[in-house]
A and B are shown apart, each in its own frame.
Chain A
Amino acid sequence: MSSIAIEVNGVAQTREVEPRLLLVHFLRDVLGLTGTHVGCDTSQCGACTVLLDGKAVKSCSLFAVQAEGRSVTTIEGLAQDGKLHPVQQAFWDQHGLQCGFCTPGMILSACELLACNPSPTESEIRAGLEGNLCRCTGYTNIVKAVQQAAAAR
C-alpha cells in the first residue's frame, strides 16, 4: 500500500491505497465522488475527465499515486457557493446533455478548452472536444453550450 496526499475540490485527502488503484476509482470508490464516470477502457470516451492542476486529464489513465501532491477538480467541485459554473449553466440552458453520463467529463474538457482559448470558433470547439464521446446529442447543442459559455466570460 502507498500513502498519498491529494487535494480534491479544495479539500486535502490523505489515504493508503494500492499502487495500482486508478485515479478514477480513488475518486469514485474511496472518496465517493461518483460524478466522475467510466465509459471505456481505452481512454477514448473522456467520461472520466477531471482537472489535474487545471489541466483536463482522463482519470482512468492515471494511477491515484501519480496525483500525489497535486490538485484535482471533479464535477462536484465546479459550482462555487451554490452557483453553477458558466459552462454548467450553458449546458443546462442549451440542452447540451440528454442522458448526462458523458456530461461531467464533457463539461470539464470544455472548461479547459475555454481556459486555453477564450473565444473559440465552432471548428475549434469541435476539435477541442475531440477527446470526449457523446452518443445522445450529436454534439450540436454541446457546441452551442460552449459558445454560450465563451460569450458569458
Chain B
Amino acid sequence: MPERLFGASIKRREDPRLITGKGQFVDDVRVPGTTYAAFVRSPHAHARIARIDASAAKRLQGVVAVYTGKDLVDGGVKPIPTGWLIPNIKIPAHYPLATDRARYMGDAVAVVIAESPYVARDAAELIDVEYEPLPAVADPARAVQRGAPAVHDEAADNVCFRWQLGDKAATDKAFAGAAKVVKESFRNHRLIPNAIEPRSALASVNPGTGEVTLWLTTQNPHVHRLIMSAFVLGLPEHKLRVISPDVGGGFGSKIFVYPEECVVTWASRALSRPVKWTADRREAFLSDAHGRDHYSDAEMALSEDGRILALRVKTIANMGAYLSLFAPAIPTYLYGTLLAGAYQTPAIHVDVTAVFTHTTPVDAYRGAGRPEACYLLERMVDLSARELGMDPLEIRRKNFIPKEKFPYQTPVAVLYDSGNYAAALDKALESFDYAAFRKEQEQARKRGRYLGVGFSTYVEACGLAPSQVAGALGAQAGLYESATVRVHPTGKVTVFTGSHSHGQGHETTFAQVAADELQLPLEDVEIVHGDTGQVPFGMGSYGSRSGPVGTAAVYMGTQKIKEKAKKIAAHLLEANEADVVYEGGKFSVKGSPGRFKTFGDIALMAYLAHNMPKNLEPGLEAISFFDPGNFVFPFGTHICVVEVMRDTGQVKVLRYLAVDDLGRVINPMIVDGMVHGGVAQGVSQALWEHAEYDENGQLITGSFMNYALPHADDLPSVQVGRTETPSPVNPLGIKGAGETGTIASTAAVSNAVMDALAPFEVRHIDMPLTPGRIWEALQGR
C-alpha cells in the first residue's frame, strides 16, 4: 500500500513546467488572426464626457474598430451586477465603458481594436475625448460630509448602504457600567493587490458553432461565465467557454467580473475575430479592484482587572466609484463578524457606512474585511493593556475563549467551529523567550536602541461559505464546491474540480487527497481545473475555500466511486457486498486476502460491462457537491520583533514567528509557503504599501516606482509553526490557509512598533508605519 499522501510535503507537480518556461498564462495563448484591444481611460477622477472623436484613430492603418460606451449599450451590453446585497443598498449601473460621466481616474471610456498591440496603443492615443472636469472626492470620510460632490445622482449623500450588527442596547449598557473605556481611531488604508501577472483576456468565436472561448485570468471561471452570459452579454451560457489556464497570482483581484473581459468578448462576436487584451501595470494599478480603505472609531469597555466587557465600532468603508462583484460583503459579513476575535467579549456593536467616492472600486483583497477586523481588535487589546498597566499577553490570556467552550457562539452572528487559542500562544512562546526579550529590550533602551515585540492572537473565518448561511447574509449564490471523479477503463483517474489554482498548487494537493482515498499512486491521478468546458460547475477559489470546501468535494466524490466499485467487486468475487474490503488498492473478501480484484480490474469491468451486477449502470464516475454547514475558523499567534531607529524613524523587522492552527494540513511545504507570502503582504501593508489619491482624485501611487511593493531585501525570513485542531465542519478536518498570514500580521507589526516607541509615550500611529510618520511622531519627545 502506498504511504499516506495526506500530510506529506510532496514537491509540486506543476513546477516542472513553470520553471522551464512551459507554463501557459493567458497572454501566452496564441490564436491565428488575433486582434488587440487598447482602452482609452479617463485622466480625470470625475468628468462629463462631452464628445469622443475617433476619426484620426480610425484612419490609422491596422485599426479594425473603435467602440464607445454608447456603442456597447446599443449593442445590447448590460451593466455588470453586484453579487451580494445589503438591505437598502444603492446599486448604480456599472456599464463596461462609461456612457455619460467618467467616475474615477482610469474609468474606461472607449476601446480600440487593431491588428497589433502596438497599433492599438498608437490609435488609443489618437482618440480625442473632450472631458468637462467635475469636482471629485476620493476620501471616504470627506465623501459623506455635506456638500461633497456626488458620485451618483441616485446617492446624493454618497452613502451606498448602512449596516449594523450586534446588540446595541447590551453594548451601551456594558459601557455605562465599565471601570475603564479605551478609545482610538484607526485608518486602515487602501492597498493595490498587484499580482505579478497583469489581468488578460482573449476571446475567440468558433464560426462553425458560434461558441465563444474566453481565456481569462480568473479565480472562478464558472462565476465569470454565469455572470457574463446571463447578466452582461445576453450570450447563452452553453455557448461561452471560459478557460483560466496558469494564472499568475490573484489575491482576490481576479475574482471579479471586470469591464475589459466583457468588452473583449462582445467585440470578438461583433467582429468575428479573436480579440485580446492584456493590462500593462499602469492599467493594473488603475483598474484592478483595490482593497481595505476604512476609517474606524473603536471603543473598548473593560473591568478594572482587564476583562473585556464590550466593543463598539463605527466604520466608514470606501466602495470606490462602482460596486464591484463582492464589494458589499467585505466591510460587513467578512468584517463585523470577526470583531470578537479570540476573546469572550459579551457585547459587540458595529455600525458600518459604505460610501461611494471617485476612486477605483474596492473589493476583496487577501483577507478581505478580516484583516481590518483583526488589526482593529488586536490594536485595541494592546492599547487597553497599556492603559490598564497590564502585560499584552496577560490581557489576552485573561480574555481567551477557553477550549471547553467550542463550538462558541459569538455576539456577532458566527459560531466558531473549534479552537484552542492558549495552546497556539504557548507553542509560539516555546520558540520565543519572552522574559529574555524584555530584558534585552530594557538593556537596549539604555544604549539608545529601541526594540519592540508585537503579538497578534487572531481568529479568522474562511472556507467561504455555507450556502444557507451565505444566502441568509445576502449572497446571491451559495458557495459550495463541486468535484467530478472520473475513473478511466485502465484505472487511471481524472478529477475535475471547481476550485481554481493560481499559485496554490492544487494539481498536487487535490491529487494527494484523491490518491489517498482511492489508494492509488499519485501518478495515477490527474487534476483538471479552470475550464468550464471540462468542469461541470464550480465556485472557484477565494476566501481560503479550496482546502476546506474544494478538497472536501473531491473526498466525497472518491467515496461514491469506492461504493460503486465495491458493488462490482462483490459481484465479481461472488461475495456479499458487506464482506468486501478495499485495502492497498485491492478488493477482497474479508479473511481471504488472496482472492482479490484490483482497482484497475473493477474500472475495466465498469466499462466493458459484460459482467456487471444486476441493475447497476456501466461506467465509473461520480460528481459531488460539498456544501459545508459552517465557516471554518483558523487561529494562531503571530509574534513580530522590530527595531525602530530613533533618528530616522526606520523600522527593521528582526524576527517574525507565525504559529497557526489551520486544522489538518494536506501538504505542509505548500502551507508554509502560503503563510510566508501572506505574512509578507501584511508586513508590507503595516510598513510600506499605500495607495494614495490626492484631493482631486488622482492616484499618485500608480506604478512600482511609487507604490512600495517589498523586495527580497526588505523582508525577513518567516518562521512557521503549527498547532492542529481539526475542524468538524468538513470530513478532512481542514481549516484553510491562504489568508491567515495577511490577516494576523498588520497587528503584530504595528503592536511591535508601538511597543518599541513606548518610552516616547507614542500611543498610536496609523499604517503604513513609514520612517516619515514615525519621525514626525517622535519630534519633541
Contacts and interface: CB of A to CB of B under 8 A. Distances in A.
10 contacts: A44-B705, A79-B20, A84-B19, A84-B20, A99-B247, A99-B503, A101-B246, A130-B713, A133-B704, A140-B717
B676 A137 contact: yes
A76 B196 contact: no
A39 B704 CA distance: 10
A136 B677 contact: yes
Contacts of B27: 34, 37-38
Interface string B248-261: 11010000000000
B12 A99 contact: no
A72 interface: no
**B interface majority secondary structure:** loop
Q: Please name the 5 residue pairs, one residue from A and one from B, whose CB atoms are nearest each other, closest first.
A: A35-B21, A101-B248, A138-B680, A100-B18, A99-B503
Given A18-B118, A41-B281, A88-B19, A101 B196 contact: yes
B677 A98 contact: yes
A92 B711 contact: no
A110 to B, nearest CB: 10
A47 B196 contact: yes
A21 B19 CA distance: 26
B133 interface: no
Interface string A87-102: 0100111010111111
Given A47-B196, A74-B21, A138 B281 contact: no
A42 B670 CA distance: 31
B282 A41 contact: yes
A138 B24 CA distance: 23
Contacts of A127: 712-713
A135 B680 CA distance: 8
Contacts of A65: none
Given A130-B711, A141-B673, A99 B196 contact: yes
Nearest to B22: A35
Contact of A32 (B30, B704, B709, B717): B30
A84 B677 CA distance: 26
A122 B669 CA distance: 21
Interface string A117-146: 000001101110110111111111111000
Contact of A135 (B20, B249, B669): B249
B14 interface: yes
- The contact size tier of chain A is 35 or more
Given A98-B677, A99-B503, A142-B712, A35 B704 contact: no
A18 B405 CA distance: 70
A68 B672 CA distance: 44
A132 B16 CA distance: 21
B654 to A, nearest CB: 13
Contacts of B198: 38-39
**A interface majority secondary structure:** loop
A32 to B, nearest CB: 7
Interface string B633-644: 000000000000
Contacts of A141: 673, 676
Interface of B: 11-12, 14-16, 18-25, 27-28, 30, 118, 194-198, 246-249, 251, 278, 280-282, 502-505, 669-670, 672-674, 676-681, 703-705, 709, 711-713, 715, 717-718, 741
B21 A130 contact: no
A36 interface: yes
Contact of B18 (A39, A97, A140): A97
Contacts of A138: 676-681, 715, 718, 741
Contact of A143 (B16, B194, B712): B712
Contacts of B673: 95, 98, 136-137, 140-141
Contacts of A98: 249, 503-505, 673-674, 677
Given A38-B27, A143-B717, 11 more contacts: A39-B198, A40-B281, A41-B280, A91-B15, A98-B677, A100-B18, A100-B23, A101-B195, A101-B249, A103-B18, A140-B676
Contacts of B711: 126, 129-130, 132-133, 139
A91 B19 CA distance: 8
A88 B278 CA distance: 28
Given A20-B118, A47-B196, A135-B249, A97 B20 contact: no
